[in-house]
Amino acid sequence: MPGPTIARILRREIRDQLRDRRTLFMVVVLPILMYPMMGLAILQVSPVLQEKPRVVAVVGVEDLAEGPPLVEPNPETNELWFNPGLFDRVEDARALVVQTVPRDGRWDHPEACRELIRRGHASAVLVFPPDIAAHLRGERVTRAQVRIIYDGADERSEFTFNRVRNVLANYEKTVEAIRAAREGKPFAQVDPFRMRPEDVATLKEAGGSAWARLFPFLLVLMTLTGAFYPAIDVFAGERERGTLETLVLTPAGRDAIVIGKFLTIALVSLATALLNVVSMALTGIQLAAAVNNAPGVTSGHRGAEAVLSAPTLESLVWMLLLIPPLALFFAAVSAAVANQARSMKEGQYFMTPLYLATIPILMLSMSPAVELGVSMALTPIAGPALLLRDLIKGDYATARGLGPLVLLATLSYAALALRLTIRGFDREEALFRDAEPFHPALWWTALRRDRPERPTSNQAFLGFALMLTTAWFCAPLLSASLTGLILGQALFILAPPLALTLLLTRNPRATLRLRTTSAFWWLAALGLALCANPALQELRSLIETLQPIPPQLAEALQNLTSATRNGSLGLVILGFAVVPAVCEELAFRGFILSGLTQPRDRRTARATAVALSALLFGLTHLALSLPQQFFPSTLLGLILGTLALGSRSLGPPLVFHIVNNTLAFLWPLLPSEAATTLFRDPERLLFQTPIVVVASVIALALVISIIRAAYPPDVANALPTPAEPHPVAQHQDQPNAPEAVS
Q: What SS3 string covers 351-382?
A: HHHHHHHHHHHHHHHHCCCCCCCHHHHCCCCH
pLDDT at position 603 is 82
- Cα-Cα-Cα-Cα dihedral sign, residues 687, 688, 690, 693: positive
> Does residue 335 carry a pLDDT above 80?
yes
Q: Which amino acid is at 309?
A: S
Examine the fold and report which residue of 149, 164, 199 is the final residue of a domain before the chain moves on: 199
The torsion angles phi and psi of 20, rounded to 5 degrees, stand at -85, 115
The model's confidence at residue 184, banded by pLDDT at 50, 70 and 90, is low
Claim to verify: residue 36 and residue 99 sit in the same structural domain: no
Decide if 333 contacts 417 (C-beta within 8 A): yes
Residue among 48, 31, 23 nearest 547 (CA): 48
The tens digit of pLDDT for each residue in 107-152 reads 777 777 777 777 778 888 888 888 777 777 767 667 778 888 888 7
Number of domains comprising the chain: 3
Identify the DSSP state of 152: T
Q: Which amino acid is at 275?
A: L
238 vs 182: which has the higher pLDDT: 238
DSSP per residue, 200-220: ---HHHHHHHHHHTTHHHHHH
**How far apart, in whole angstroms, are the C-alpha atoms of residue 396 and residue 111?**
18
| Cα-based distances in Å from 2 to 8, 11, 12 | 10, 15, 16
The model's confidence at residue 554, banded by pLDDT at 50, 70 and 90, is low
With respect to residue 129, please indicate whether it lies within any of the assigned structural domains.
Answer: yes
The tens digit of pLDDT for each residue in 458-512 reads 889 889 988 988 888 877 776 667 777 788 888 888 999 999 999 888 889 999 9
The tens digit of pLDDT for each residue in 588-639 reads 999 999 998 877 777 888 888 899 999 999 988 888 877 778 888 999 999 9
Q: What SS3 string covers 618-637?
A: HHHHHHHCCHHHHHHHHHHH
**How far apart, in whole angstroms, are the C-alpha atoms of residue 284 and residue 392?**
14
Claim to verify: residue 24 and residue 68 sit in the same structural domain: no
Claim to verify: residue 311 and residue 418 sit in the same structural domain: yes
Lowest mean pLDDT among 328-332, 383-387, 690-694: 383-387
Claim to verify: residue 410 and residue 479 sit in the same structural domain: no
Claim to verify: residue 12 and residue 56 sit in the same structural domain: no
The model's confidence at residue 30, banded by pLDDT at 50, 70 and 90, is confident
With respect to residue 140, please indicate whether it lies within any of the assigned structural domains.
Answer: yes
Whether the pTM exceeds 0.75: the reply is no
Decide if 388 contacts 318 (C-beta within 8 A): yes
617 DSSP β-pair partners: none
- How many residues in total does the chain contain? 742
Identify the DSSP state of 296: T
Claim to verify: residue 178 and residue 309 sit in the same structural domain: no
pLDDT at position 567 is 58
Claim to verify: residue 420 and residue 463 sit in the same structural domain: no
Q: What percent of the chain has pLDDT over 90?
A: 18
565 vs 734: which has the higher pLDDT: 565
**How far apart, in whole angstroms, are the C-alpha atoms of residue 496 and residue 83?**
53
Which residues, at least 6 apart from 309, have a Cβ–Cβ distance to it below 8 Å? Answer: 203, 204, 206, 207, 210, 288, 292
Claim to verify: residue 140 and residue 243 sit in the same structural domain: no
Claim to verify: residue 401 and residue 355 sit in the same structural domain: yes
With respect to residue 179, please indicate whether it lies within any of the assigned structural domains.
Answer: yes
**How far apart, in whole angstroms, are the C-alpha atoms of residue 530 and residue 522?**
13
pLDDT at position 714 is 67
365 vs 205: which has the higher pLDDT: 365
The torsion angles phi and psi of 722, rounded to 5 degrees, stand at -60, -30
DSSP per residue, 626-678: -GGGHHHHHHHHHHHHHHHHHHSSSHHHHHHHHHHHHHHHHGGGS-HHHHHHH
Claim to verify: residue 525 and residue 667 sit in the same structural domain: yes
> Does residue 734 carry a pLDDT above 60?
no
Decide if 528 contacts 706 (C-beta within 8 A): yes
Examine the fold and report which residue of 415, 430, 445 is the final residue of a domain before the chain moves on: 430
Decide if 686 contacts 541 (C-beta within 8 A): yes
Claim to verify: residue 175 and residue 297 sit in the same structural domain: no
Most confident option among 1-15, 202-216, 284-298, 574-588: 574-588
- Cα-Cα-Cα-Cα dihedral sign, residues 608, 614, 618, 624: positive
pLDDT at position 719 is 43
With respect to residue 651, please indicate whether it lies within any of the assigned structural domains.
Answer: yes
Claim to verify: residue 155 and residue 212 sit in the same structural domain: no
With respect to residue 740, please indicate whether it lies within any of the assigned structural domains.
Answer: no
Which residues span the domain enclosing 129? 50-199
With respect to residue 722, please indicate whether it lies within any of the assigned structural domains.
Answer: no
> Does residue 727 carry a pLDDT above 50?
no
With respect to residue 736, please indicate whether it lies within any of the assigned structural domains.
Answer: no
> Does residue 428 carry a pLDDT above 90?
no
The model's confidence at residue 190, banded by pLDDT at 50, 70 and 90, is low
Return the CATH number at 116. Answer: 3.40.1710
With respect to residue 728, please indicate whether it lies within any of the assigned structural domains.
Answer: no
Examine the fold and report which residue of 199, 229, 252 is the final residue of a domain before the chain moves on: 199
